[in-house]
Amino acid sequence: MFTTHQAWGEADCDKQKKSVLIKCRKTVELGTDYVRPNRKCCDAVKTSDMVCICLALSLDDEYHVSAVKLVDAAEECGNPVPAENKCGSKNLVLFVLFFPKRNSVVLLCS
């Protein structure tokens, strides 16, 4: 039953995933420098279930899309993927490092 439900959830956000990956292509493209998301990208991210999109990210998608950049874009657009979630084949672990004059967030993936 759980597997069926998960498959339904992935199918439900397939359109959202396609929209985000198309509108955020320059931001999430694998093998390039990170480019800040533009307004169209952020609009797609804000209206999408980013946890579902991360779960639906396939190995085929990851030949072209950086899961880490996708998570960064979600954070920058105000719809973050909570720490400890899986995004594609990556398990996300969030560490907060404190420096004397500023806080920095580091995202580690395994």
Q: Which class is 9-77 in CATH?
A: mainly alpha
- Domain ranges, ordered by start, for the chain: 9-77
Q: What is the pLDDT of residues 41-71, one digit of tens each?
A: 999 999 999 999 999 999 899 999 999 999 9
Q: Model's pTM, two decimal places? A: 0.73
Per-residue pLDDT of the chain (110 residues; tens, 9 = 90+): 333 334 445 557 999 999 999 999 999 999 999 999 999 999 999 999 999 999 999 989 999 999 999 999 999 999 999 887 888 876 555 444 444 444 444 444 44
Q: What is the pLDDT of residue 10?
A: 52
What is the per-residue DSSP string for 4-62? HHHHHHHHHTHHHHHHHHHHTHHHHBTTS------HHHHHHHHTS-HHHHHHH--TTGG
